[in-house]
Structure formats: structure tokens, C-alpha cells
């Protein structure tokens, strides 16, 4: 879906599954957490289906997956945060086309913000470690606002921070969380086909368009 640059003033871009393949990092941190708690490991298919709604959701679902009691959540949370801090970016790769796509958006005059459900400190670290931080004026993690995507509040607040109208701010993501949040906030939305959409095709979230690479956005 070719987009006319003049139709938008900004883009809000998701991180995990949209710009960076972070499954390897999640795999390392989650399974180190489970090992520390004396629990069985989980596989990447489960992780891929589960990521996207914040660390709290991921840890609770992981503990449930291995049959652990919910009372282990606090200890699991602390262990996960410690291990993720150690591995952040270690096993992650920037998807093909992301750098050129972001550069094209900037060249078109769009202002860019990164909005993710990942904790803000991890998001900022990851963008810096992968060389993506210079593209973004603002970065907001899942702990920046009272609610996370798919609630529209993070998008609304990000538009306010950018000083742009939702109708002229494109949401670029990979999952139904991004699509639902964008629709409720009044933002157009494009999803990438390769991301983590809970095991469902990106088209099922009914975005305005689905692309195979960010370079397609302004081609």
C-alpha cells in the first residue's frame, strides 16, 4: 500500500515483532527465569504466541504454561527482569528493511515515536544497541502510561506528545494489539506480515494494509 507522505505528519512504530526480532532474547530470559525457579522450560512457539501484551502478562502466562502456582509471580518477575537486563539485544536481530523504511519516513518529514508494551528502560536500551534510537524523537514503554495497548490511551498520549492529530499519525505494528489500539484512537494502521500476532495472520486484525517490509510503506 503506497502511502502519500503528505497524508501524514508522524508515525508511531511498535518495537518487538515490528522493528526487531526479539524472540531469542525472550527465550533466554524466560528460560533462565524458569530454571532459577526450578521449573520446566518453554519453547519458542509458545513465546511467539504470548508476547506483545507486556512483561506482566508474559510472565503470568509462562508460569501457567509450566503449571507453576500464581504465587511464584513476584519471584518470577524479579528474576525475569534481572535476566532480561543481561541479555537485552544479545539474541535479537533488526528485521530486513527496517532501517531503510525508517529513513524514508524521516526523509518524508514524518516525526517518529516508538511505542511498545516492553518496559521503557529495556526499549530504550534495545533501540540504542541496535542503532535505531536516532530515528525517534520519543520512546514510550509499557510502563509509561496507566494502560497498555490494545487500550487506545498510549496512542492518544503519544499523539499528544508529538503534537499531531491521530488521523494524521500512522500506527505501524505487527499484531491485533496495535490494530485495536489504533482503531480506538483514530489512527490509521499498517501491520507487518512477519511479526508476533498470537499465531494469527496479520490480515485477521483488519488493518488498513499489511506489508512484508517497512520499505514498502513509502515505495
Tell me how far CA of residue 131 lies from CA of 70, 71, 78, 153, 212, in angstroms.
Answer: 38, 39, 28, 28, 21
- 3-state SS assignment for residue 37: coil
| Catalytic-residue membership of 14 | yes
Secondary structure (DSSP) of 151-187: SSHHHHHHHHHHT--GGGEEEEESSHHHHHHHHHHT-
Q: Report the alpha-carbon distance of residue 198 to residue 107 in Å, rounded.
A: 33
Nearest in space to 167 (alpha carbons), one of 181, 185, 150: 185
Query: Where do runs of H (alpha helix) occur along the chain?
Result: 23-36, 44-50, 55-65, 73-87, 98-107, 120-129, 153-162, 176-185
User: Given 14, 16, 27, 178, which residue is catalytic?
Assistant: 14
Residues in contact with 160: Cβ distance below 8 Å, sequence separation at least 6, in sequence order: none
Which residues are identified as catalytic? 14
Amino acid at each position: 500500500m503506497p502511502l502519500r507522505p503528505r497524508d501524514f505528519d508522524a508515525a508511531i512504530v511498535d518495537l518487538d515483532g515490528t522493528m526487531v526480532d526479539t524472540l531469542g532474547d525472550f527465550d533466554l530470559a524466560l528460560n533462565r527465569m524458569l530454571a532459577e525457579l526450578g521449573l520446566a522450560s518453554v519453547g519458542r512457539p509458545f513465546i511467539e504466541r504470548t508476547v506483545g501484551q507486556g512483561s506482566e502478562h508474559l510472565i503470568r502466562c509462562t508460569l501457567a504454561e509450566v503449571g507453576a502456582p500464581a504465587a511464584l509471580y513476584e519471584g518470577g518477575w524479579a528474576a525475569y527482569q534481572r535476566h532480561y537486563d543481561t541479555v537485552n539485544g544479545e539474541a535479537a536481530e533488526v528485521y530486513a528493511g527496517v532501517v531503510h523504511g525508517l529513513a524514508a519516513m524521516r526523509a518524508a518529514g514524518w516525526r517518529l515515536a516508538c511505542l511498545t508494551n516492553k518496559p521503557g528502560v529495556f526499549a530504550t536500551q534495545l533501540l540504542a544497541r541496535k542503532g535505531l534510537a536516532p530515528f525517534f524523537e520519543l520512546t514510550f514503554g509499557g510502563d509509561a502510561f496507566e494502560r497498555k495497548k490494545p487500550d487506545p490511551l498510549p496512542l492518544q498520549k503519544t499523539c499528544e506528545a508529538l503534537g499531531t492529530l491521530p488521523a494524521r499519525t500512522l500506527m505501524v505494528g505487527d499484531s491485533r494489539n496495535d490494530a485495536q489500539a489504533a482503531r480506538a484512537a483514530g489512527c490509521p494502521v499498517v501491520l507487518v506480515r512477519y511479526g508476533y500476532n498470537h499465531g494469527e495472520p496479520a490480515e485477521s486484525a483488519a488493518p488498513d494494509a499489511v506489508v512484508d517490509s517497512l520499505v514498502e510503506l513509502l515505495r
